[in-house]
Amino acid sequence: MTSWLRLSLAIAGACVLASCTGWQSSFNAQAPQADEIRRLLLIFIAVSAVVWIGVMVVLFFGMLRRKRQNQQPLDLHEGFERRAGSVVLIAGLLTTVTVLALSFVSYGAQRTVFANEADPVTIKVTGHQWWWEVQYQADSPHLSFTTANEIRVPVGKPVTVELESADVIHSFWVPSLTGKMDLITGQRNSLQFTARTAGIYRGQCAEFCGIQHAHMAFTVRALPPDEYSRWRHHQNQGAASPGDPLGIRGEQLFRGRGCGLCHTIRGTLAGGQFGPDLTHVASRDTIAAGTLPKTSGNLAAWISDPQHIKPGNLMPKMALQSDEMIAIVHYLEQLQ
């Protein structure tokens, strides 16, 4: 088997596997907006398949015919030109009708995807190179607060995400919940979805935004309404004070080493705005925008050399003794 054929088969196999299952897939639609996009996708795939098969059949019979003619030069008699003319005309008409029909279907789907329902939960999402700032607006009885890289929403309630960028163009995309929308500096775009099923849905920046574009993921967790309400209530509170001497030392080191110049931990003096809010960092599943699972080892690896894990990001390397690292990680692990 030639290498290009092997490569094509591998890519085709990966596409099939990636699209049919998994938690980041337009085929795994879990919101009415995503249903609409999946329907559109299936229509486009079906129409493209019919067109492709039609072209292949015509090509195949054309080749057979040429073979039968035993490579003789084409007999360009009078009738040939007329027949060729009508074939081109029919193909042109069919193409025009197909494109118009698909445009019409797309327009209908767009109307459904962008039909905003009233009284949504509003969340402002700001794209940064290369992480997501997530701000919940106050909605009685909840206060506003900021978190990062993980969005929690209630099942069955419309959620509007207002999208903006702090630097370059990014794109918000959670294929299981809705379509894609760009985040642009100085312009507020918005997108609405209503998650139907509780679960974790992966999202990914879908617009090339620099060398770590691939490491700009996030998750949307759809929670039953009472669980969501408990979570928001918990977010209203600042960080708990460290409960043991090692945690207290960790907090002192966090402050002493200037971590709070870039990161906020509500309820402490750390109020920096450059990096992700760490008030409840221990409740998140991943660190560095979906790059690594949040484990003690990964937190330590990240703090000691973030440039090795995600080159080009804004976090500097922290020179810490191993006992200092243990204390800081222990402190961060308590920020539930």
Q: What residues line the site for ligand CUA (CB under 6 A)?
A: 127, 130, 170, 205, 207-209, 213, 216
Q: Indicate the residue among 130 and 145 with the shorter CB distance to ligand CUA.
A: 130
In sequence order, what DSSP letters do the residues of 315-331 get, joined into one string?
A: PPP----HHHHHHHHHH
Name the residue type at position 143: L
Q: Distance between CA atoms of 38 and 334, rounded to whole angstroms?
A: 41
Smallest gap from residue 160 Cβ to ligand CUA (A) = 21
Indicate if the alpha-carbon torsion angle 310, 311, 314, 318 is positive or negative: positive
Smallest gap from residue 281 Cβ to ligand CUA (A) = 21
Smallest gap from residue 171 Cβ to ligand CUA (A) = 7
The H-or-E segment that residue 119 falls in is: none
Q: Distance between CA atoms of 52 and 65, rounded to whole angstroms?
A: 20
Q: Indicate the residue among 127 and 275 with the shorter CB distance to ligand CUA.
A: 127
Smallest gap from residue 173 Cβ to ligand CUA (A) = 10
Smallest gap from residue 188 Cβ to ligand CUA (A) = 17
In sequence order, what DSSP letters do the residues of 183-205 get, joined into one string?
A: EBTTB-EEEEE---S-EEEEEE-
The H-or-E segment that residue 72 falls in is: none
Q: Indicate the residue among 142 and 213 with the shorter CB distance to ligand CUA.
A: 213
Q: What share of the chain is helix, strand, coil (3-state, %, to 5)?
A: 45, 20, 35
Q: Indicate the residue among 30 and 212 with the shorter CB distance to ligand CUA.
A: 212
User: Of 206, 202, 155, which Cα lies nearest the Cα of 21?
Assistant: 202
Q: Indicate the residue among 105 and 169 with the shorter CB distance to ligand CUA.
A: 169
Smallest gap from residue 241 Cβ to ligand CUA (A) = 35
Q: In the structure encoding, which two tokens stand for residue 1, read together?
A: 């088997």
Which residue spans within 98-149 are E strands per DSSP?
121-128, 131-136, 145-148
Q: Indicate the residue among 32 and 290 with the shorter CB distance to ligand CUA.
A: 290
